[in-house]
Amino acid sequence: MKRVVSLLLFCLLLASATAQAATEVKMAGDFRAYGVFFQNHNWTTWNAAGTQTEEAFEIWQRWRLRSDFVANEAVKFRLGTRVNDTPWGYGTYTAANPTVSIEVYQAYLQFKLPACDIEVTAGYQPISLPQSPIFYDSVVLASKRESNSFAGLVVKAPIIKDTLNVFAGFSRLIDVNRTYDTTTTQVDDELDAYFLTLPIIIDGFKATPWAMAAVVGKASTGAVTSIRNGLVSGGSFIAPTGFNNTDNPYWWAGTSLELTALDPLKFYGDVIYGQGASADYKRNERRGWFIDAAVQYTGFDWATPELGGWWSTGEDNSIANGSERLPSIANNFGMGNSFLYPTGQDLSKNDMGVNPIGSWGLTGSIKNISFLEKLSQRLTFTATWGNNSPAGLRKAVLASGGTGKYLTMGKDLAIGEYVLGANFDSKYMLYENLALIVETGWAHYGNPNGSIWNTASRRFTKNVGDAWMASFGFKYTF
């Protein structure tokens, strides 16, 4: 409770300190409470590692508040606070000694340099690499549409007004030991990223070439398991484990394309290549491609149909030569609010978390279905197949200690395995800012490969069943 009071006092002091300089304080946010019924979240009634039993029904709550302290058109500060998705009866929302979980998820200063239009944003801010918007967010580095942030500095410089901008930035994603290492021996425990994007806009067409380089410290990737798994190879789990070099460079390059000149037909596409740890042991290297394309038709007044697909390189049959999958830091790729991927769902904790990297697939979606006033709906179907060698996955799973540690059954797909998913979502606006939401999903995991995923104590593939999800709740925006 003391921490909550301290945080509130800090916010009040900050507001009063800036009140004299600020001409305006703008506040916005959202609140949602919703229940989720989810059966076979990991294709079984267990967690991914097979060590815990899932709870089929939970009620979740989240609120977010964003405050902009605006001095003038050139200077503002954004403070975003939230209690992230937390189930009722647990953490903050328990009657038994509730814990404090208010967190800052945005805190940055944004200003323009005097006498020009160069804009600087410094602090804890949402950063995403370019990706066609029909696929929601980046497969390499995503803020999940400003839900997540990274500490960094971004400079926007207009070169040709309304035609060409330059975005250049730096982000320190991880610094494990902060000021002092744990001993008197220097440890490289930082993960730093440098990026450049060049959005080019002409009538009916937009192209955004981009590039990013990262320096990955030997001791940095272990701090966040999801980041580690997106960057390292299966060979890195072979003793002696981890990187050999103290620092390893990674780099990515790609372009995002949007063609709207043929409206109501709109076309989208992306081409991405990434590579890292090439100067380390060969087994630690990771490199790969990711390509996607989609078409959307906006000529109907009652619905918007979309069709898209993607293809990504997968693992070969060896882990001694590194990984052939695209390296990724934070990926939120998906189309049509597909039940298979964490993308644009209005509610959370209701997707399968399938990994698009190392697979290929197709999605068909009909969104903005509207036959009744205030009611909008979406129907989406996705099919995805594995591009990874079964032998390569088998060796990586064995080296890393089993499913759920580095690779996960039904989420990282082998050649011969496939996943089908469908979702039907509805939103009814009770009031202008208050929506009643129902999201439903079904998924089927086909041809699970027991030679990859089963262990002596857990026959995972013998317990695979279809996944079913139904979530319902309220969302208020202000």
Segment 146-152 mean pLDDT: 95
Domains, the chain, ranges and CATH?
A: 2-477 (2.40.160.100)
3 state SS of 462 = helix
- Amino acid sitting at position 441: G
Residue 183 confidence class, pLDDT cut points 50, 70, 90: confident
The DSSP annotation for 211-275 comes to EEEEEEETTTGGG-HHHHHHHS-GGGGSSSPS-SSSEEEEEEEEEEEEE-TTTTEEEEEEEEEEE
Per-residue pLDDT reduced to its tens digit, 24-43? 999 999 999 999 999 999 99
Smallest CA-to-CA distance from 232 within 283, 273, 189 is with 283
Name the β-bridge partners of 275: 251, 287
Tell me, rounded to whole angstroms, the distance of Cα 34 from its chain centroid: 21
Half-sphere exposure of 248 toward its Cβ, with a 13 Å CA cutoff?
Answer: 24
Q: Is the pLDDT of residue 9 over 50?
A: no
- Amino acid sitting at position 354: V
Name the β-bridge partners of 445: 419
Sign for the CA dihedral angle at 219, 224, 229, 231 comes to negative
3 state SS of 397 = helix
Tokens coding 150: 């990274």
Quote helix, strand, coil % in the chain, to nearest 5: 15, 45, 40
CA gap 76, 27 in Å, rounded: 13
Per-residue pLDDT reduced to its tens digit, 153-174? 999 999 999 999 999 999 999 9
Average pLDDT across the chain, whole number: 94
Per-residue pLDDT reduced to its tens digit, 122-136? 999 999 999 999 999
Q: Where are the alpha helices (DSSP H) in 385-453?
A: 390-400, 450-453
Per-residue pLDDT reduced to its tens digit, 450-475? 999 999 888 999 999 999 999 999 99
- Is the N-terminal amide bond of 305 cis, ω within 30° of 0? no
How far is it between the farthest Cα atoms of the chain?
Answer: 69
pTM to 2 decimals?
Answer: 0.92
| CA 237-238-241 angle, 5° bins | 60
Residue pair 57/34 in contact (Cβ under 8 Å)? The answer is no
Smallest CA-to-CA distance from 40 within 23, 27, 53, 25 is with 53
Segment 347-372 mean pLDDT: 97
Segment 308-321 mean pLDDT: 98
Smallest CA-to-CA distance from 471 within 423, 414, 432, 420 is with 423
Residue pair 471/438 in contact (Cβ under 8 Å)? The answer is yes
Task: Indicate the pairing of strand 119-125 with strand 205-217.
Answer: unpaired
Smallest CA-to-CA distance from 186 within 177, 198, 195 is with 177
3 state SS of 188 = coil
| Tokens 């995403």 -> residue | 128
Q: Is the pLDDT of residue 19 over 50?
A: no
Q: Which residues contact 324 (CB under 8 A, 6 or more apart)?
A: 287, 288, 313, 314, 315, 316
Phi-psi sector, 139: left (phi>0), alpha (psi -120 to 50), beta: alpha
Q: Where are the alpha helices (DSSP H) in 59-167?
A: none
pLDDT value of position 98: 85
pLDDT value of position 181: 82
Q: Is the pLDDT of residue 20 over 80?
A: no
Residue pair 417/448 in contact (Cβ under 8 Å)? The answer is yes
Q: Is the pLDDT of residue 322 over 90?
A: yes
CA gap 91, 112 in Å, rounded: 41
The DSSP annotation for 279-305 comes to TS-GGG-EEEEEEEEEEEE---SS-EE
DSSP state of 91: G
119-155 burial, b at 16+ Cβ within 10 Å, e below that, comes to bebebbbbbbbbbbebbbbbbbbbbbebbbbbbbebe
CA gap 390, 234 in Å, rounded: 13
pLDDT value of position 23: 75
Smallest CA-to-CA distance from 119 within 185, 74, 162 is with 74
Tell me, rounded to whole angstroms, the distance of Cα 51 from its chain centroid: 26
Tokens coding 415: 């050649």
Work out the percent of the chain whose per-residue pLDDT is above 70: 95
CB count, 10 Å around CB of 454? 20
Counting every residue written for the chain, the total comes to 478
Of all helices (H) and strands (E), which one includes residue 394?
Answer: helix 390-400
Smallest CA-to-CA distance from 452 within 460, 444, 443 is with 460
